[in-house]
Amino acid sequence: MSTRKLVCGNWKMNGLKADSVALVRALAERMAAAPPACDVMVCPPFTAIDRVVAAASGSAIAVGGQDCHAAASGAHTGDISAPMLRDLGCAAVILGHSERRTNHGETDAQVRAKAAAARQAGLVAIVAIGETLAQREAGETLRVVAGQLRGSLPEGASAADTVIAYEPVWAIGTGRTPSPADVAQVHEAILADARAIMGETKSAGLRVLYGGSVTPANAQSFLTLASVGGALVGGASLKADQFWSIIQTCP
Ligand code: 13P
């Protein structure tokens, strides 16, 4: 577990092999010239992980997956297991992203089983939670994220093997964000809930990332908050200069 903040790029379903390698090389060059104050990770599509791991080798860039199956192996056509990600050189995997929850109907129970599998395989589970616009407008944000957190964390989860990503669904890819004060309120509630779920010792140092329309222009306003342990960046992580600018705002 690190006490440094973590800036993680979620590349989603973007980039062919050459694009992915060029992007990670550009990032590695910038990081070699000016080592950042935070940990840096990129989560390429499955098809590019092998090459991105090779291109990132020797740099401080960690690589993660964007999803995994709850089983280690078996008759699951089209799925990828946590040990397979680990075998490729991944250090972590994003689980329960709202695009998985919406497009693939993933439930908290499934996310929890995947997080347990990730842990078993030696991967850090980056568990994503967040409310919809309707839930926010109905004043249900804290109740929704508390429920997702409790439902998605596996038995025995600790800050050493778990990162939480708070991503309001309405902020993803929209250019809209909560205010830093709103983000701080939700992150403080998540940290308190995590203490209650994991216990004081296991939750110590837990990193809660903010995600949703993070840009070079707004990154500092989130990353300088004490309750924000880093950022999960989508669109802006696909441009080396933008992602690098975000990383550099880390205190
Ligand atoms: P954007 O940064 O494109 O809004 O995406 C956020 C996200 O979903 C990261 O997982």
Per residue in 155-189, pLDDT (tens digit) is: 999 999 999 999 999 999 999 999 999 999 999 99
Find the domain containing 67 and state its range: 6-248
8 lines ligand 1 (CB under 6 A): no
- Please indicate, yes or no, if residue 21 is contained in any of the structural domains: yes
- Please indicate, yes or no, if residue 43 is contained in any of the structural domains: yes
Nearby residues of 87 by Cβ (< 8 Å), 6 or more positions away: none
What sections of the chain are H helices per DSSP? 17-33, 46-56, 82-88, 98-103, 108-120, 133-137, 141-152, 180-198, 200-203, 219-223, 240-248
- For 93-112, the three-class secondary structure string (H helix, E strand, C coil) is EEECCHHHHHHCCCCHHHHH
130 lines ligand 1 (CB under 6 A): no
Can you tell me the mean pLDDT for 104-128? 98
- Say which CATH number the domain at 52 has: 3.20.20.70
- Please indicate, yes or no, if residue 162 is contained in any of the structural domains: yes
81 lines ligand 1 (CB under 6 A): no
- Please indicate, yes or no, if residue 1 is contained in any of the structural domains: no
Q: Which percentage of the chain shows pLDDT scores above 90? A: 99
- Please indicate, yes or no, if residue 232 is contained in any of the structural domains: yes
- Please indicate, yes or no, if residue 18 is contained in any of the structural domains: yes
Nearby residues of 34 by Cβ (< 8 Å), 6 or more positions away: 248
Domain count, the chain: 1
Give residue 2's pLDDT. Answer: 60
The best mutation among 41, 166, 172 to test binding of ligand 1, ranked by most ligand atoms within 8 Å of the C-beta, falls on 172
The best mutation among 170, 233, 237 to test binding of ligand 1, ranked by most ligand atoms within 8 Å of the C-beta, falls on 233
The answer on pLDDT for 1 being more than 80 is no
Closest CA to 82 of 46, 52, 57, 54: 46
- Please indicate, yes or no, if residue 180 is contained in any of the structural domains: yes
